[in-house]
Amino acid sequence: MSKLTFLCFLMLLVVPPRSADEAYPDRFDILSTVEDSDKQEGDYDEFELLDSPYWKSGRGNKVLVNVDAFGAVGDGVSDDTQAFVNAWKEACSTRKSVLLVPEERRYLVNATRFKGPCADKIIVQIDGTIVAPDDPKNWDPKNPRIWLGFYNLNRAVFQGNGVIDGSGSKWWAASCKRNKSNPCKEAPTALTISSSSAVRVKGLTIQNSQQMHFVITRSDSVRVTGVKVSAPGDSPNTDGIHITESTNVVLQNCKIGTGDDCISIVNGSSTIKMNNIYCGPGHGISIGSLGKKNSTGIVEMIDLDTAFLRGTTNGLRIKTWQGGSGYVRSVRYQNVRMEDVSNPIIIDQFYCDSPKNCKNQTSAVAISQIMYLNISGTSRSQKAIKFACSDTVPCTDIILDNIDIQSKDGTVETYCNSASGFYFGYVHPSAECLSSSDKDLTISQAKEAEVTKSSREYLVHTEL
């Protein structure tokens, strides 16, 4: 990396006041790209009208497709799978349709794939509860990883005050994570949105999933707002929202508490914006794991702004396996408060979630341009900040700015292995171990550079 690049970057960091738009040079400019994804809001204007009750009476030009009209019983015992399948066929092939799952009922539905493309944008209004059969023994072997799966949709809205309940307790008891004498088997995800675009998910509650709660995969432009995810803190592998091979995803105003990552972002995902997230219990907000079994993992342009984490085993985590390749870069975490969190800030390039010990290897998923701004809270572990990076593929350009993590009882420290970057403002625990790889470049030099306006312009417009 050129010294000019560093200079530019540092200079911009130390010039107050910083406005979000101009603070960082292009390679750190997560904002502009990520904010563009907000602008797609226009796509959904028409749907917003649906928040008013008038369409429920059948007016408003919408065609209501009620699962009850297809024989759904909604008593929590009768098998309503076929009614849902038939109602979906009707709704998906009809223009301006709303598939309605009425309130105050419980619909027992088996593993089902709801496939598009549909005739038009489709609204799935879930006001009641959809519940999964609870016995793993009777699960459809053709859908080992799916409970409610939606595919190939273009412009769809899932909304309502309803609940998607995976009835997962027997699955958890059968997990090899719970009891090592159990065989390690796959388990379904409660809600999957796959191979879709322009999807919005609003207000739903997803709970007690067999395994992951909500997976967004191979999709573009997905906006999730006001969604609640909940499962017991000891339920195994019950990630809250899992994003894979997807771009332009916005998660906003979500409250997530599970037995695994509240949010996990894995391979092939970019331009993911998370805003106003509550997490706990759980394993924190994670990028990864990546690089398992020597695979390539690529994640970039991740922005988390405003989050509160309580009692989680990790806070802001990036986890990669030894032997992987690819990269994680351009990640910004800001305005995060954590209480009683075990590893508040952690990069772990030695992640190993397997019964066998993992060997160190020369290859690793490269990690760079990771920013932590205004992060505060309390740590349960001494290593409140931990950058455990690969000896052969170091972490670079880690930025800490305005960090205050304390311990309730004792001291906290920053651990670094093979990590370099910069820190600004108040940083506690102090991050001296984060030595810059470019030691002769100091902040005062950067400040000097700032006085020359022309040089600034020049630097700002340098291709980075």
HSE toward the beta carbon, residue 136, CA cutoff 13 A: 18
Cβ nearer to ligand NAG, comparing 177 with 456: 177
**Residue in the shown chain whose Cβ atom is closest to ligand NAG:** 268
At residue 425, what is the residue type?
G
| Residue 377 neighbours by CB under 8 Å, 6+ apart | 309, 315, 336, 337, 338, 339, 341, 344, 404, 405, 406
Structure tokens at 107: 């619909």
- Which of 52, 57, 61, 181 binds ligand NAG (CB under 6 A)? It is 181
- Looking at 267, 320, 368, 414, which residue binds ligand NAG (CB under 6 A)? 267
Q: In this structure, which amino acid lies at residue 333?
A: Y
Among the listed ranges 57-65, 75-83, 190-198, 429-437, the one in contact with ligand NAG (CB under 6 A) is 75-83
The nearer residue to ligand NAG, 6 or 327, going by C-beta atoms, is 327
Window 148-167: residues binding ligand NAG (CB under 6 A): none
Q: How far is the CB of 120 from ligand NAG (least distance, A)?
A: 27
Q: Are 28 and 330 in contact (CB under 8 A)?
A: yes
Is 40 a binding residue for ligand NAG by CB under 6 A? The answer is: no
296 binds ligand NAG (CB under 6 A): yes
Does residue 374 interact with ligand NAG by CB under 6 A? yes
Least distance in angstroms from the C-beta of 352 to ligand NAG: 9
Q: Does 2 bind ligand NAG (CB under 6 A)?
A: no
Stretch that binds ligand NAG, among 51-59, 190-198, 252-260, 329-337 (CB under 6 A): 329-337
DSSP letters for 215-252:
EEES-EEEEEES-EEE--TTSTT--SEEEES-EEEEEE
Task: Determine phi and psi for 82, rounding to 5 degrees.
Answer: -65, -35
| Whole-number Å distance between alpha carbons of 413 and 345 | 11
Gap between the terminal Cα atoms of the chain: 9
In the complex, minimum distance from the CB of residue 55 to ligand NAG, in angstroms, rounded to a whole number: 29
Amino acid at 92: C
Among residues 179, 382, 435, 442, which is the contact residue for ligand NAG, using CB under 6 A? 179
Closest by CA to 210, choosing from 298, 138, 269, 133, is: 133
Cis bond upstream, residue 53 (ω within 30)? no
* Shortest Å, Cβ 368 to ligand NAG: 18
Contact flag: residue 306 with ligand NAG (CB under 6 A)? yes
CB of 290 to ligand NAG, least distance (A): 9
Q: Does 79 bind ligand NAG (CB under 6 A)?
A: yes
Alpha-carbon span 294 to 192, nearest angstrom = 26
Beta-carbon contacts of 89 under 8 Å, excluding residues fewer than 6 positions away, are none
Output 26 or 79, the one with its CB closest to ligand NAG. Answer: 79
Which residues between 104 and 143 bind ligand NAG (CB under 6 A)?
110, 138
Pair of tokens at residue 75: 């008593």
404 sits near ligand NAG (criterion: CB under 6 A): no
Burial (0-12, 13-18, 19+ Cβ within 10 Å), 374: middle
Does 391 bind ligand NAG (CB under 6 A)? Our answer is: yes
| Known catalytic membership, residue 213 | no
Binding mask 229-248 for ligand NAG (x = CB under 6 A): ----------------x---
Among 236, 257, 323, 344, which residue interacts with ligand NAG (rule: CB under 6 A)?
A: 323
Query: Where does this chain touch ligand NAG (CB under 6 A) — which range of 5-13, 59-67, 74-82, 122-130?
Result: 74-82
Q: Which two tokens stand for residue 188?
A: 């379904």
DSSP calls for 261-286: -SEEE-TTEEEEEEEEEEE-SSS-EE
Candidates 82, 154, 381, 436: give the one binding ligand NAG (CB under 6 A).
Answer: 82
Q: Which of 213, 242, 283, 428 is catalytic?
A: 283
Catalytic center residues: 283
Question: In the complex, which residues of this chain contact ligand NAG (CB under 6 A)?
Answer: 79, 81-82, 110, 138, 179, 181, 245, 267-268, 293-296, 306, 323, 335-337, 350, 360-361, 374, 391, 417
